[in-house]
Amino acid sequence: MPHLNRIKDGTKTIELRLNDEKRQQLKEKDLIEFTNTTTLEVIMVEIVRLYKYSNFDELYKYFDKVSKGYDKNDIANPKDMEKYYSKEEQGKYGVVGIEVRVIEDRK
């Protein structure tokens, strides 16, 4: 799970998600636990800030690609998110960039 490693090392600071009912409940200072399902490593993060947009095209304009989890040589394309969330879902819920900071790393 490369994204978990990037959160852990502090390069990925924006988690990209659909702003569905579950994410609409999130608030600044809430804690989120990420688990690597292969190694069972757990990373606990705190929400620093929530950034809400109508779709990933909009969100991608406001954050550099490394903070979104890409390598510096990658091409960051908002269409990459369509493998997780359809255009219809984005239209229905909007999207959220969840700015996080690691507070605990458990192996």
Q: What is the pLDDT of residue 106?
A: 61
pLDDT band at 86 (very low <50, low <70, confident <90, very high): very high
Residue spans per domain, the chain: 2-106
19 within 8 A of 58, measured Cβ to Cβ: no
Per-residue tokens: 37? 């399902």
CATH classification for the domain delimited by 2-106, as one of 3.40.50.2300, 3.40.47.10, 2.40.160.20, 2.30.130.30: 2.30.130.30
Q: With a cut of 80, say whether residue 25 has pLDDT above it.
A: yes
Q: With a cut of 90, say whether residue 77 has pLDDT above it.
A: yes
pLDDT band at 105 (very low <50, low <70, confident <90, very high): low
Determine which helix (DSSP H) or strand (DSSP E) holds 3, and give its type and residue range: helix 2-8
Percentage of the residues of the chain whose pLDDT score is greater than 90: 82
Q: What is the mean pLDDT of residues 53-66?
A: 96
Q: How far is residue 53's CA from residue 55's CA, in Å, rounded to a whole number?
A: 6
